[in-house]
Amino acid sequence: MPHPSRLPSVRQIAFRTAALASLISVSLAYEPAKIDPAAPAAPAGATAATDAKSNAVENAVVKVFSTMRYPDAYKPWSKQAPTEATGTGVIIEGKRILTNAHVVLYASQVQVQANQAGDKISATVESIAQGIDLAVLKLDDESFFDTRPPLARASTLPDIKDAVLAYGYPTGGTSLSITKGIVSRIEFAGYNLSTSGLRIQIDAAINPGNSGGPAIVGDKMIGLAFSHLGGAQNIGYIIPNEEVELFLKDVADGKYDGKPAMFDELQTLENPALRSSLKLGKDVEGMVVHEAYGTDASYPLKEWDVITKIGDTKIDDQGMIKLGTNLRVRFQYLIQQIAKEGKVPLMIVRGGKEMAVALPVTPDRPMLIPDLRGTYPSYFVFGPLVFTTVTAQFTAGFASNANFVVGFGAMGSPLVTRRGDQPAFDGEQLVAVSSPFFPHKLSKGYGGPAFHTVKTVNGIAIKNLEHLVEVLRDTKDEFLTFEFVGRNMEALVFTRKEMLAATDEILSDNGVRAQGSTDTLAVWNAKAPAK
């Protein structure tokens, strides 16, 4: 199934606009409603009340303008050129504005404009959660809220088939857009990074620019628009109020901790042979543990355990639980409801015996190749070489290139072979050469080292980028030998004094303002410990 596309797609707005235009091949005919002259007219009071509700919603919806400065993974000493983007936001309690994280991620400037207003008010990002795609903005001028009260939020999930209105500022115009549809699906699904949450699907049209706009049932917000399904028409996704409330409660102390989750690998119990092999009776339903997340003996789950309950709620053979009478969702949904002090109660069957366990849950799964999560990459320049920590953004640039994946996979590059791995030890990072050599005579005769992962420096295995900087700082050897992970990777040998002498010249010639990021320079400038 195509992956839901986030809105707005900052770098693909023009492409998506053209794509949407090409998809509209069927004209939408409008047939005037037939009026029964005998039918009673709507009461004037009812019309006025409806207009007042509509005006209250429109008054709470704002347009968000962002200037993005994304990181450049292959030139980590710089940022990408500024990119302008627009989205939507909604006024909430506390004189704040709620929007999507991707609307303001890496924004160097944020401004907000009210409906039917001509002025833009400067804003700052107060809280952000890239995983669940939510952010809170504060305005420099809070008098903005004097005539704009917050929008009321519903306290329960909508029902399937409820009529819904999506408000926002999509591309194709400048004024507020309102589209109509129904709630078509509610499920527990993956968002970004390792975060999952409830998600509402609607068939009201939402497009790039709608991100952060409220979805309304009756006169209350049921959630926030955040994506649509690429390649499909009128399949949009809403972050429900339940997820919004969890986020706002989390950031009340000024920082975002994240949502607890389990990262064990599970499989369904639908296959009869699997059930027979585990000697399970017909009355046992649940999910089978294929690989436990924890490896130490104290971890409560083991391979072939069957998870039958979460809290007091039964889990079926597809890993689903019932919410109310008409809704089934993945059982992991309840983790965010019942987890206490970092643990969630489970009932399991192991070796034919039922037992209760307390499973530790955490917001994040440590990754060897992590996401930048709104930060900029670390780097260090030494002579004509630029070293950086390998991140998801670093590998994303070529992950879809089949030739690269096959070639580097054949060479045994960890950029391919270790994608998805956890760190093998505390502090493990992959360190790679981020780009081709800076032009200099020191690189004469060597091939391009770009994207090669550092294995050793003078025989010392490199643990992470800071460790690499320590080794370069502390070594007294005349020569420096860099070796890389994989097959057919040539070694690079340089004279240490020449590398040190050339670095400032190279930085100046190439307009690089700093030899390294703040963290690596702190290591480089620190005094080596006495031996």
Catalytic residue among 211, 227, 378, 435: 211
**Which residues does residue 99 pair with via DSSP β-bridges, in sequence order?**
135
Catalytic residue among 9, 102, 443, 467: 102
User: CA 364 from chain center: how many Å?
Assistant: 12
The CA R_g of the chain, rounded to the nearest whole Å, is: 28
For the chain, give the longest Cα–Cα distance: 100
Contact 103, 211 (CB under 8 A): yes
Contacts of 24 (CB under 8 A, 6+ apart): none
Residue written as token pair 């000493």 = 77
Contacts of 393 (CB under 8 A, 6+ apart): 71, 73, 371, 372, 377
Determine whether 413 is an active site residue. Answer: no
Contact 328, 320 (CB under 8 A): yes
Question: Up-side HSE of residue 49: CA atoms within 13 Å toward CB?
Answer: 7
Q: State the DSSP code for 252.
A: G
Contact 256, 250 (CB under 8 A): yes
Residue written as token pair 């699906």 = 185
**Which residues does residue 354 pair with via DSSP β-bridges, in sequence order?**
349
Give the number of other CB atoms < 10 A from CB of residue 110: 26
Among 395, 376, 375, 379, smallest CA distance to 387 is for 379
Determine whether 211 is an active site residue. Answer: yes
Contacts of 297 (CB under 8 A, 6+ apart): none
Give catalytic residue positions: 102, 211
